Amino acid sequence: MLRLPIASLALLLALGSAACGGGRGGEGAKVPDGSRVDTPPGGGPGAVYGPGGQQYAVTDAPSSGEAATNRPKMNAQASAAYQAGMQAFQAGDLAGARQQFTQATQADSKAYQAFYSLGVVRERLGEVAGALSSFQQAINVVPDYEPAIVAYAVLQARTGKVSEAESFLNGKLAKMPKSAAVPAAMAEVKSIQGDSGEAQRQARDALKKNPDYRPAMVTIARDHYRRRRLDLALYTLQAVLEGLGDENPARDRENAEALLLRGLIHKEQSNRKGAMEDLSRAAKLRPDLVEARVHLASYYLEAGNAAEAAQLLEGALKYDKDHLLARLNLGDAYRLLGKVTEAKKELDWVASKDPQLAEVHYNLGLLYLFSGESVPGMTPIQAVDKAIAELEKYKQMKPRSKPGERDDTDELITRAKTKKAVIEAEKPKSKPASSTPSTPPGGSTGKLPDPGGK
Q: Are 74 and 113 in contact (CB under 8 A)?
A: yes
Q: Among 11-20, 48-57, 67-76, 396-405, which stretch is predicted with the lowest mean pLDDT?
A: 11-20
Q: Which of 143, 204, 157 is closest to 51 using CA atoms?
A: 157
Per-residue confidence (pLDDT) for residue 405, from 0 to 100 = 66
Residue predicted with more confidence, 436 or 51? 436
Query: 4-41 as b/e, with b when 16 or more CB fall inside 10 Å?
Result: beeebbebbbebbeeebeeeebeebeebeeebbbbbbe
CB under 8 Å, gap of 24 or more: what pairs does 134-139 form? Answer: 137/105, 137/112, 138/112, 138/113
Give residue 118's pLDDT: 97
pLDDT at 249: 87
State what percent of residues in the chain have pLDDT above 70.
Answer: 80
Q: Residue 4 pLDDT > 50, yes or no?
A: no
Q: What is the pLDDT of residue 448?
A: 37
Residue 400: what pLDDT? Answer: 74
Mean pLDDT over residues 109-113, rounded? 96
Specify whether the CB–CB gap between 293 and 285 falls below 8 A: no
Cα 310 to Cα 338: distance, rounded to the nearest angstrom: 12
pLDDT, tens digit, for every residue of 404-427? 667 889 999 999 999 999 988 887
CB neighbours (10 Å) of residue 412? 21
Q: Cα–Cα distance between 160 and 418 in angstroms, integer?
A: 51
What is the reported pLDDT for 37?
A: 31
Q: Which residues are bridge partners to 243 per DSSP?
A: 249
Q: What is the largest CA-CA distance in the chain?
A: 125
What is the tens place of the pLDDT at every residue in 152-203?
999 999 999 999 999 999 999 999 999 999 999 999 999 999 999 999 999 9
More confident residue, 453 or 414: 414
pLDDT of 15 reads 39
Whether 84 and 137 have beta carbons less than 8 Å apart is answered as no
pLDDT at 403: 66
10 Å CB burial of residue 334 (0-12, 13-18, 19+) is buried
Domains of the chain: 6-226 (1.25.40.10), 338-399+409-424 (1.25.40)
* 282 neighbors 256 (Cβ within 8 angstroms): yes
Least confident of 232-236, 241-245, 432-436: 432-436
Residue 26: pLDDT over 90 = no
Question: How many other C-beta atoms lie within 10 A of the C-beta of residue 163?
Answer: 12
- Convert the pLDDT of each residue in 348-391 to its tens digit: 999 999 999 999 999 999 999 998 778 888 999 999 999 999 99
Residue 352: C-alpha distances to residues 250, 347, 355, 392 (Å):
46, 9, 6, 18
Give the whole-angstrom CA distance, residue 147 versus residue 395: 47
Residue 116 near residue 94, CB atoms below 8 Å: no
Per-position b or e across 164-181, b if 16+ CB within 10 A of its CB: bbbebbeebbeebeebbb
Identity of the residue numbered 164: E
* Residue 364 φ/ψ, nearest 5 degrees: -65, -40
HEC letters along the chain: CCCCCHHHHHHHHHHHHCCCCCCCCCCCCCCHHHCCCCCCCCCCCCCCCCCCCCCCCCCCCCCCCCCCCCCCCCCHHHHHHHHHHHHHHHCCCHHHHHHHHHHHHHHCCCCHHHHHHHHHHHHHCCCHHHHHHHHHHHHHHCCCCHHHHHHHHHHHHHCCCHHHHHHHHHHHHHHCCCCCHHHHHHHHHHHHHCCHHHHHHHHHHHHHHCCCCHHHHHHHHHHHHHCCCHHHHHHHHHHHHCECCCCCECCCCCCHHHHHHHHHHHHHCCCHHHHHHHHHHHHHHCCCCHHHHHHHHHHHHHCCCHHHHHHHHHHHHHHCCCCHHHHHHHHHHHHHCCCHHHHHHHHHHHHHHCCCCHHHHHHHHHHHHHCHHHCCCCCHHHHHHHHHHHHHHHHHHCCCCCCCCCCCHHHHHHHHHHHHHHHHHHCCCCCCCCCCCCCCCCCCCCCCCCCCCC
Window from 1-10, 109-118, 438-447 with minimum mean pLDDT: 1-10
Q: How far apart are CA 189 and CA 155, in angstroms?
A: 9
Please report, in angstroms and rounded to a whole number, the separation of the first and last CA atoms in the chain.
119
